[in-house]
Amino acid sequence: MNSTAVMINLFGAVALLLFGLAQVKDGVSRAFGARLRTGLSTGTRSGPRSFVSGFLATIALQSSTATALMTASFVERDFIKPRMAQIVLLGANVGTAVTAWIVGSGISWLSPVLILIGILFHRSKSSNRQGLGLALLGIGIMLLSLHLMTAATEPLRQSSALLAFIGLLQNAWPVAFALTAAIAFLSSSSLATVILILSIAASGAIPNDLTVVLVLGANLGGAIPPFIASLGADASARRVTLGNLIVRGAGCLLVLPFAAYLGEYLAMIPTPGHMLPVDVHLAFNIGLSVVAWPLSSLLSTSMARLIPTATKAEFAPKYLDRDELSSPLMALTNATREVLGVGDLIERMLARTSEAFRTNELTPLAEIAQLERRVDMLQQEVKVYLSRLARIGLGEDESRRSIHIIDYAINLEHIGDIIEKGLVPQLTKKISLGLTFSEEGYAELTRLMDLTVDNLRVAQTIFVTRDQGLARQMMEVKVEVRRMEKESSERHLRRLQEGLLESLQTSSLHLDLLRDLKRINAHVISVAHPILDESGLLVESRLRSSA
C-alpha cells in the first residue's frame, strides 16, 4: 500500500474518532445534561467530591475540554468555588486518561454491538433515550476508529520513512513535544491524540522515552482549547482554565527531563507493551493530581492576582448560558429570565418618563438613552440564543414557546423605541418651553401613564405563568385603554373649542402623548394574544357580522 493511501486511511480513522467523541458528548448532554450540570455544581463541597465529580463528568462526556468549560461557567456564576474548580479539573484529567486506557485495552469487538444498540435507542421517541442512543453510537464509532487506526498503521511497521522520522524525533524531544501538543490543540482532544500515539506505537517503532515525550505534548495541547474558549468569559472563568493549563505545563516541564527513566519504569508494569502510551497518560495525570491537589488553594489565589476582576460589561446578558443549549427546557427558562429583565428595564424607562412628566424636570430623562441601548442589545442576544437553540432541534411545544419569547422581546424593544423617540422628545419640549396642561388634561395623561405601568407588570406575570384568566383580563384592558384615549381626545378637542389657553398651547403635545401611550399599551397587551389564540378564544377580526 502506498504512503498516500496509508495517510488517507489514518486521517480518516482519526476523523472518525473525533466524530465519535462529538456524538458521545452531544448524546450525554441531551440525555443527562441537566443532571450532569446539577451534579457538577452541587458535588463540589469538598475536595474529594470535587475530584470525583470532575472524573465522572469527563467519563460521561468523553471530553475534559467540555468539563473544563462547564466548570468555568459555574465558577463565573459563583456555583463552584475557584479552589474546588481546580480540583474538579484534576479529576477531569484523570477521567480522560482512564477513558483512553479503556478504549485502548482491546474491547473493539464491542463496537458493532454498541452501534446496533445505539441506533435502536436513537429511533425512540423519548429525547432521553435518543441521547443515550447517540452516546452509545459514539462509543461504538470510537472503538471502530481504533480498529481502523490499527489497520491503517499496520503498513507503517515496515516503513523506512516512519523509522527515519521517529529517529529525527528521538534526537529532538522539543520538536516531538510540540508536534503532539499541536495535534491535541487542533483536534481539541488529548484523548484522540493519545489514541493516535497508541496506534502508531503498536508497531514497536517508537522508543519508550519518545512515547513519554509525545504523551506529555498531548497533555499540554489538550489544556489549551478550554483556555482559548474562555477568553471572552468573565475573569473568574479564565482563572480556572489558565490554572489548569499552568498545572499541566508545569507538570510536563518537571517530567520531561526524566522521560527516559519513566519510560523504562513503566515498561516493567505487567501490561501489554502496546499499552505504554495510555499507561504513561494515566500515570502522569494521577501523579499530577497528587502533587497539585494540596496546592490548589495557592493556585486559585495566584490566578486571582494574575487575572484581576474586571468591571463586568453593563449590557451583558446575565442568564443566556450557552452550555445549557443542550437542554431545551433549561435554555428556554434562561431566555425567559433574560426577557423578564428586559421588561424590568422598560418599566424603569416608563417610571423615568412619568417622573419627568410629574416633576417637570429633565434629569429623569437622562438615563433613557442608555436603558434603550441595553434593551436593544439584550433582545438581540435573546434572538441569537434562541436561534442557536432552534438549530439543535426543538419539539412542537418548545418551538412555540421559543417563538412567544422572541415575540415578547421584540414588543418590549418596540416599546423602548416609542419611549426614546416619542415620549422623551415630547416631554423635553414640554419642560424646555415651560408648557403646562390643563388640570383635566394633566389628570387624564397621568391616569393613562399609571395604567400603562400596571399593564406592563401584569404582562410580565402573564409571560411567565401563561395564565388564561389574566390574559382575558388583559384583553379587556385593551378596550379600556382605547376608550380612555378616545375620551381624552374628545375632551381635549372640547377644551380647544372653549378656548382654554393651556389646551391651545399643548394641543399637539397632548394628542401625541395619547397616541404613543396607546401604542405602548398595544405592544404590552400583545403578550396575551398567543395564549388566547392557542385556547381558541381569539378571533381574527373585530368586525361585527352583517347578520
Long-range contacts formed by 117-123: CB under 8 A, 24+ apart = none
Of 249, 232, 192, which Cα lies nearest the Cα of 72?
232
What's the pLDDT tens digit per position in 160-197? 666 677 777 877 888 889 989 998 888 777 877 888 88
What's the pLDDT tens digit per position in 245-303? 999 999 999 998 888 888 778 777 776 667 788 888 898 999 999 999 998 889 888 88
Between 415 and 189, residue with greater pLDDT: 415
Q: Grid coordinates in use for 279?
A: 499507561
Question: Per residue, what are the HEC states of 174-232?
Answer: HHHHHHHHHHHHHHCCHHHHHHHHHHHHCCCCCCHHHHHHHHHHHHHHHHHHHHHHCCC
With a pLDDT cut of 90, the percent of the chain lying above it is 16
Task: State the chain's maximal CA–CA distance in angstroms.
Answer: 108
pLDDT at 25: 67
Q: Structure pTM?
A: 0.59
CA distance 263 to 411: 66
What's the pLDDT tens digit per position in 293-305? 998 889 888 888 8
CA distance 115 to 98: 22
What's the pLDDT tens digit per position in 438-459? 788 888 888 888 889 888 988 9
Of 317, 359, 322, which Cα lies nearest the Cα of 340?
317
The string of DSSP letters for 285-318 reads HHHHHHHHGGGHHHHHHHHHHHSPPPPPPTT--S
With a pLDDT cut of 70, the percent of the chain lying above it is 84
Between 288 and 308, residue with greater pLDDT: 288
pLDDT at 158: 59
pLDDT at 324: 77
Q: Grid coordinates in use for 529?
A: 394574544
pLDDT at 156 over 90: no
pLDDT at 29: 66
48-57, 166-175, 411-420 — most confident range: 411-420
pLDDT at 547: 47
List of domains in the chain: 3-157+170-306 (no CATH), 322-534 (1.20.58.220)
Q: What is the CA radius of gyration of the chain?
A: 32
**Stretch 72-87: mean pLDDT:** 77
Please answer whether residues 17 and 140 qualify as being in contact, where contact means their C-beta atoms are separated by less than 8 angstroms.
no
What's the pLDDT tens digit per position in 194-223? 888 887 777 667 888 888 899 999 999 988
CA distances from 535 to 7, 262, 394, 399 (A): 61, 71, 22, 17
Please answer whether residues 131 and 222 qualify as being in contact, where contact means their C-beta atoms are separated by less than 8 angstroms.
no
Segment holding 501, helix H or strand E: helix 501-505
CA distance 312 to 80: 19
pLDDT at 2: 63
pLDDT at 48 over 50: yes
**Stretch 77-102: mean pLDDT:** 83
Q: Which residues contact 201 (CB under 8 A, 6 or more apart)?
A: 211, 274, 276, 277
Q: Which residues contact 62 (CB under 8 A, 6 or more apart)?
A: 21, 24, 25, 28, 96, 99, 138, 139, 142, 191
What's the pLDDT tens digit per position in 91-148? 888 988 888 887 777 666 677 888 888 888 878 777 677 877 887 888 788 777 777 7
